[in-house]
Amino acid sequence: MAILAVGAIAEIYAKADKLDPHYLEEYTKLEDDFKRLPSGGLSDDLAHCFEVFVDDFIGAAIPRTKEDLTHLSRALLHAIHDIFPASPDDPENDPESLKKLKKREGAWAVRKDILGWELQGRNKTVQLDEGKYDKLMTLTKEALRSKSGMPFNQYEKMLGKMRHASWGVPGSNGLFTPFNRVLAQKPKTVWFRQTSALTIALRDWRSIFKEALKTPTHVRQLFRGEPNIAGIVDASGEGVGGVIFGLTDDVVPSVFRFEWPEEVRRQLQTEANPDGTITNSDLEMAGLVFLWLMIEHVAPELRHKHIVLLSDNSPSVAWIDRMASKRSLPAGELLRILARRLCATKACPITPLHIPGRHNRISDIPSRSFGYKPEWHFVDDNKFLTFFNSQFPLPDQQLWQMCQPSTKISSRICHSLLTPGSGTQDWRKLPELATNIGGTGSSSHGLWNWILTSTQELSPTISEFGHSPSLEQPSDKDFMGT
């Protein structure tokens, strides 16, 4: 606990107007990046953070002047010595590791190697150290090729390294459901059989990391933030449907629907069919995948965009929040799809939110428009769209556009529901996603308040969705670490 207190104390010191010099601070000023900064006063709104990992003390900032970094250096150095006092008789054994300071490991720099990651402050990107990447690729390749299996303790160590590496590679954390299942079972030997879900997940993971080595990850891809685009979805035993609309980005307001084929309905678990392989939450999870793909259709440029997905199903919202499922095989397969698409689009992590079912009429109608209620039942898509526009008239006489999921896309998602873990589909490149019905509507944004009114829902305001840390926000200044 004492080591964690260092970060809290450093933050208190950083808020001070002035700090006494520290006898080790010169070791933080050795790099040219520091020397190139102009002199001046301490900035009032200095963006910075301090982190502690095991026995490593990490500082990051977007400075304007040398005094900004000097002030943060003093804050961290004084905080460390407050908790771990220096020994005047043994300077080489200082708790701040004089040996590392002499190697410039504590010097402020725009490019910094921290905990196996290369941080580029100018481009605001992170990338796994090439040496660690090579070792991890060799380790996972040997696991796939082993004919004698992998001892469970070695499997645990490999999985720990994979999780650490996944921090900076968007999408890769959505592939761990099969790994978690093995972890819970604790077998003496772990086998990577040719067509097992575990093997497919490991191959996918390796594929994502090979792509990540080519292009460093921008920090925007690591954090949730104020949403640019939103979607609401619902799935029932009949079908799935939802809506898409712009928040800060101009998007054509769109509605979609899809009727489940008979083979999916036959596998749905009910009181009359307790042996079904698909739960209602699995259907809701498939609905969220449909929603994401329709967002890709409506707004094809999702690079560094924040997307919020709303559903009235708590398990599927939790699965996306964790990007993992403990028990559901279909959910794990559907998360694999989202993982590949997040990597392909370079979008930011998805923000999933729960919306009470009683307020989800806007997606209830399209998902249950296949016979649930006579007044909602429409065989013809154009007639359904006319009805939907009458039920949810948009402001300024705008009209909803309807997106009909393509046969290839809907078949792929249904296949994932019915045969999870088969891994036969490549989700990196997609066929045609959908066709538009009813003409192209006008692009618009800022529809959140209208949605709240139309659904009579008191959901979070935009400001409550959560924001990325200040270091993630756009800045014309270089990001520096120590």
- pLDDT tens digits in sequence order for the chain, 482 residues long: 567 788 899 999 999 999 999 999 999 999 999 999 999 889 988 999 998 888 888 999 999 999 999 999 999 999 999 988 887 677 777 888 888 899 999 999 999 998 889 999 999 999 998 899 999 999 999 999 999 999 999 999 999 999 999 988 888 888 999 999 999 999 999 999 988 889 999 999 999 888 887 889 999 999 999 999 999 999 999 999 999 999 999 999 999 999 999 999 999 999 999 999 999 999 999 999 999 999 999 998 999 999 999 999 999 999 999 999 888 989 999 999 999 999 999 999 999 999 888 778 899 999 999 988 888 999 999 999 999 999 999 988 889 999 999 999 999 999 999 987 666 567 888 999 999 997 666 777 777 777 766 665 434 444 444 443 333 444 556 667 77
Residues 103 and 244 both lie in one domain: no
Q: What's the confidence (pLDDT) of residue 455? A: 62
Residues 276 and 413 both lie in one domain: yes
Residues 336 and 372 both lie in one domain: yes
* Pairing between β-strand 351-354 and β-strand 307-311 as defined by DSSP bridges: parallel
Residue that is written with structure tokens 């559907």 in the block:
334
Query: What are the tens digits of pLDDT across the range 47-76?
Result: 999 988 888 889 999 999 999 999 999 999
Please choose, from the candidates 240, 221, 153, 150, the residue with its C-alpha nearest in 3D space to the C-alpha of residue 191: 150
Q: What's the confidence (pLDDT) of residue 440? A: 62
Last-in-domain residue among 191, 221, 251: 221
Q: Are 320 and 288 in contact (CB under 8 A)?
A: yes
Q: What's the confidence (pLDDT) of residue 99? A: 86
Q: How far apart are alpha carbons 74 and 22 in whole angstroms?
A: 6
Residues 252 and 133 both lie in one domain: no
Q: What's the confidence (pLDDT) of residue 283? A: 97
Q: How far apart are alpha carbons 43 and 446 in whole angstroms?
A: 34
Q: Are 102 and 27 in contact (CB under 8 A)?
A: yes
Q: What's the confidence (pLDDT) of residue 369? A: 95
Residues 289 and 206 both lie in one domain: no
Q: Is residue 471 part of a domain?
A: no
Q: Is residue 250 part of a domain?
A: yes
Q: What's the confidence (pLDDT) of residue 88? A: 66
Residues 167 and 184 both lie in one domain: yes
Q: How far apart are alpha carbons 460 and 363 in whole angstroms?
A: 18
Last-in-domain residue among 80, 109, 138: 109
Residues 92 and 170 both lie in one domain: no
Residues 214 and 234 both lie in one domain: no
Q: Is residue 402 part of a domain?
A: yes
Number of independent structural domains in the chain? 3
Biggest CA–CA distance in the chain, Å, is 87
Q: Which tokens is 456 given? A: 């009579």
Q: Is residue 210 part of a domain?
A: yes
Residues 39 and 169 both lie in one domain: no
Q: What's the confidence (pLDDT) of residue 70? A: 96
Q: Is residue 427 part of a domain?
A: yes
Residues 257 and 216 both lie in one domain: no
Query: What are the tens digits of pLDDT across the range 197-233?
Result: 899 999 999 998 888 878 899 999 999 999 999 999 9
- Is residue 249 left, alpha or beta, with left meaning phi > 0 and alpha meaning psi from -120 to 50? beta
57-87 as b/e: b if 16+ CB within 10 A: bbbbbbbbbbbbbbbbbbbbbbbbbeeeebe
Q: What's the confidence (pLDDT) of residue 429? A: 85
Residues 6+ apart with CB under 8 A from 299: 229, 244, 246, 249, 251, 305
Residues 146 and 263 both lie in one domain: no
Q: What's the confidence (pLDDT) of residue 205? A: 93
Q: Is residue 399 part of a domain?
A: yes
Residues 345 and 298 both lie in one domain: yes
Q: Is residue 91 part of a domain?
A: yes
Q: Which tokens is 193 given? A: 């059989």
CA 70 to chain centroid, in Å, comes to 34
Domain range for 315: 229-455
Q: Is residue 479 part of a domain?
A: no
Last-in-domain residue among 109, 142, 167: 109
